[in-house]
Amino acid sequence: MKRIIIPLILVFAIGCKQEPKKELTVQEIVDNSIADSGGKLFDDYKVTFDFRDKSYVSENVDGQRVFKRISDLDSITITDVKRNDEFERYMNDSLVMVHDTMAVKYANSINSVHYFVRLPYGLNDGAVNKELLGKETIDNKEYYKVKVTFDQAGGGDDFEDTYLYWFDIESFKPNYLAYDFHVNGGGQRFRKAYNERYVNGIRFVDYENYKPKNDGTDILEIGQLYNKGELELLSKIELKNIVVE
């Protein structure tokens, strides 16, 4: 009997001494998410995709990240190029002048599309402030809930917007996101990722795009509004013809 009891006591004692599972920091959560989604491949590879009626290109040129948007109008190919804070427009191969106000508008539009496609990679940019709000359950699954705000310096024209991300507590994939915005009358959006696929090691998703049915809701409560069916589907955001090289 002693031969049985002593090993059992040792096993129990060892089990009691095990340290509780370490709580992750918000930085560790985001780093794990970026690693799962492709990591440095976002910078090392050229990415091309179609969104609605336009083509988009993200590539590294001379150490700088360059975003492009290409569209066809009759016999003219319009190529918009955003490089850091610079914007250029080409019609076929000819550079054309664009008024500063419109240049900012076009550049922001290009940046917005590429930003969402590259998520979660941009969440480690210098102007990003991340805060872990704890855990929240959406669609009967638990997620880390992270709030993101931006510094005015380097945060772009929409630096006042607030973003929320829900990261799977096991895979760290950002399966939901939400944000508020202040331009064009303002509002809130909630996005659910679907159609996940990896192309040459980089994760891409499409989104169902929702908004609250009622005005004046708190952006921090939008996940629970989704659970209660109090959001309405506005559109689907679908990427096509993805090429990574």
Q: Which two tokens stand for residue 9?
A: 């006591």
Question: CA 128 to CA 133: how far, in whole Å?
Answer: 16
For domain 23-244, is the CATH number 2.50.20?
yes
Question: CA 234 to CA 179: how far, in whole Å?
Answer: 15
pTM score, whole prediction: 0.86
Burial (Cβ within 10 Å: 0-12, 13-18, ≥19) of residue 118: buried
pLDDT over 90 (residue 185)? no
Question: CA 221 to CA 216: how far, in whole Å?
Answer: 11
Pairing of strands 54-61, 64-73: antiparallel
Q: Is omega for the bond preceding 7 within 30 degrees of 0, making it cis?
A: no
When pLDDT is averaged across residues 30-55 and rounded to a whole number, the result is: 94
pLDDT digits (tens, 9 = 90+) for 81-129: 999 889 999 999 899 999 999 999 999 999 999 999 999 999 999 989 9
Question: CA 125 to CA 144: how far, in whole Å?
Answer: 20
Q: Are 66 and 59 in contact (CB under 8 A)?
A: yes
pLDDT digits (tens, 9 = 90+) for 118-157: 999 999 999 899 999 999 999 999 999 999 998 865 445 4
